[in-house]
Amino acid sequence: MILRGRFHTGLDTVVLFSKGHTEDKLRIIFDMCDNDRNGVIDKGELSEMLRSLVEIARTNNSLNDDQVTELIDGMFQSAGLEHKDALSYDDFKLMMREYRGDLIAIGLDCKGAKQNFLDTSTNVARMTSFHIDAVLLPSDVLKVTFYHPPNFKYLSGQQIRLSCTGVKPEEFHSFTLTSAPHENFLSCHIKAQGPWTWKLRNYFDPSNFNPKEMDPKIQLDGPFGGGNQDWYKFEVAVMVGGGIGVTPYASILNDLVFGTSTNRYSGVACKKVYFLWMPVAPPL
């Protein structure tokens, strides 16, 4: 009888996740997190939930202890709950509203879908990413590395549209991913050319940026574009990039070396690659 009851509770849970209202799903998630059933979720319980979500998403992007602590502290802070050590159900609802983007990024959408698709025919999704690392490079280029949401699948050479909460969060700009799909982070190389790209570079300039006080996040839409995947069909491939237009090849060449050296790709005809890069001359 007890087993039968549990079976039905389990079924109800599955049905609620596929059809139920957000409120019902939040209650279930809250109860699942509240391991000791004391009516509040402490930081340890929240940390367990985040870890299991990452596992469920079957990703190799595991979060280490510091990252989990940082993420949880950030979640408490963003919801204005930094003075608390545990969450009541109302606090939890508030936090989920604040952090829906990040929870999608680690594999859970409270509306029941795995991913917040903008276009299901192309798998284009909108996601939030965090743990941003930015390095200023020569020629006004900024390298931005950020967390790879496990549900975000892309091909080498594809682009995203990106915004940053620290710099006009409503404004999205196109950039090619310079990371390769097998890597557990995403990266873009962004050349400062106009108002937004200069603002981004100045924001992350170490003389202005204080990681302890500033906690920017990246919103990304994508992936877009075909990703120039034809290289593997031909014995000889010629890749030509000019200036910052070299970015797709950073990803493609990395993918090519990884894919062919690990026998990950079958049916690769490509035996030789000529790569030509024409760096733009600096102004006199």
Instruction: Name the residue nearer to ligand FAD (CB basis): 156 or 159.
Output: 159
Question: How big is the site for ligand FAD, counted in residues (CB under 6 A)?
Answer: 16
Q: What is the 3-state secondary structure (H, E, C) of 2-41?
A: HHHHHHHHHHHHHHHHHHCCHHHHHHHHHHHHCCCCCCCE
Instruction: Name the residue nearer to ligand FAD (CB basis): 38 or 193.
Output: 193
Instruction: Name the residue nearer to ligand FAD (CB basis): 96 or 188.
Output: 188
93-103 b/e with 16+ CB inside 10 Å = b? bbbbebbbbbb
- Please list every residue from 136 through 175 that binds ligand FAD, using CB under 6 A: 159, 173-175
Q: How far is the C-alpha of 71 from the C-alpha of 47, rounded, in Å?
A: 9
Instruction: Name the residue nearer to ligand FAD (CB basis): 53 or 188.
Output: 188
Beta-strand relationship, 124-129 and 218-224: antiparallel
- Please list every residue from 71 through 130 that binds ligand FAD, using CB under 6 A: none
Q: Which residue is nearest to ligand FAD (CB)?
A: 194
Residue 237 CB, shortest distance to ligand FAD, in Å, is 20
- 46, 12, 47: which is closest to 30 by C-alpha? 46
Cis omega before residue 282 (within 30°)? Answer: no
Instruction: Name the residue nearer to ligand FAD (CB basis): 86 or 244.
Output: 244
Cβ contacts of residue 1 below 8 Å, gap of 6+? Answer: none
- Please list every residue from 245 through 284 that binds ligand FAD, using CB under 6 A: 247
Single-letter amino acid, residue 126: R
Beta-strand relationship, 272-278 and 236-242: parallel
Residue 234 CB, shortest distance to ligand FAD, in Å, is 24
43-56 vs 65-78: helix axis angle to the nearest 10? Answer: 120
Residue 283 CB, shortest distance to ligand FAD, in Å, is 15
52-89 b/e with 16+ CB inside 10 Å = b? ebbeebebebebeeeebeebbebbbebbebeeeebbee
- Please list every residue from 187 through 216 that binds ligand FAD, using CB under 6 A: 188-191, 193-197
Indicate the SS3 state at residue 183.
Answer: coil
Site pattern 218..247 for ligand FAD (x: CB under 6 A): --------------------------x--x
Residue 144 CB, shortest distance to ligand FAD, in Å, is 10
Write out the two tokens for 235.
Answer: 């014995």
Instruction: Name the residue nearer to ligand FAD (CB basis): 152 or 175.
Output: 175
Instruction: Name the residue nearer to ligand FAD (CB basis): 11 or 240.
Output: 240
Residue 233 CB, shortest distance to ligand FAD, in Å, is 23
* Residue 187 host element (H or E): strand 185-191
Instruction: Name the residue nearer to ligand FAD (CB basis): 125 or 188.
Output: 188
Single out the residue of 128, 156, 163, 176 in contact with ligand FAD (rule: CB under 6 A): 176
For ligand FAD, the binding residues (CB under 6 A) are 159, 173-176, 188-191, 193-197, 244, 247
